[in-house]
């Protein structure tokens, strides 16, 4: 049993979440397999995962591990870029119709335009592994 109270645990979790940062410059080394398994295990405990998981042979939440340089990751990177471009087009059309949305979404639209100009989504395919978490059904379906 932990000596840390639930309230203290919540404070620690809040601190971790607030201090979270995204990094797009990755070391070329591949992490040890046990680290990857630890990340996937943590994903099983993410919000809704406990309710979403079925039997171990039929998990509700699926994890796909794509290795840098693999055919699978190249295909995924292309699909992700296409989806970002579709989102950018849909957002632009919606912003033309809705001046209020234009005010709130301009920064995001600019980032999408930058991605379009780059021709790729930053970070996708540059880390040693890319982990995709997908849910086949549920609320919301992801």
pLDDT tens digits, one per residue of 40-55 = 888 777 665 445 455 5
- Residue 57 pLDDT more than 70? no
**Residue 65 in contact with residue 39, Cβ under 8 Å?**
no
Distances in whole angstroms, Cα of residue 77 to Cα of each of 26, 85, 111, 120, 131: 17, 12, 17, 8, 12
Backbone φ and ψ for 70, nearest 5 degrees, come out as: -80, 160
- Residue 2 pLDDT more than 90? no
Mean pLDDT of 59-70: 82
What's the predicted TM-score (pTM) here?
A: 0.63
């Amino acid at each position: 049993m932990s000596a840390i109270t639930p309230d203290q645990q919540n404070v620690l979790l809040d601190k971790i979440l607030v201090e979270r940062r995204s990094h797009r410059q990755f070391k070329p080394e591949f992490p040890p397999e046990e680290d990857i398994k630890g990340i996937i295990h943590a994903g099983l405990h993410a919000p809704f995962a406990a309710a979403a998981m079925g039997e171990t042979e039929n998990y509700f939440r699926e994890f796909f591990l794509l290795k840098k340089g693999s055919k699978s990751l190249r295909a995924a990177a292309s699909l992700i870029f296409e989806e970002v471009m579709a989102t950018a087009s849909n957002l632009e059309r919606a912003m033309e119709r809705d001046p209020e949305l234009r005010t709130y979404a301009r920064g995001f639209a600019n980032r999408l335009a930058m991605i379009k100009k780059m021709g790729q989504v930053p970070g996708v395919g540059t880390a040693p592994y890319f982990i995709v978490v997908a849910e086949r059904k549920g609320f919301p379906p992801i």
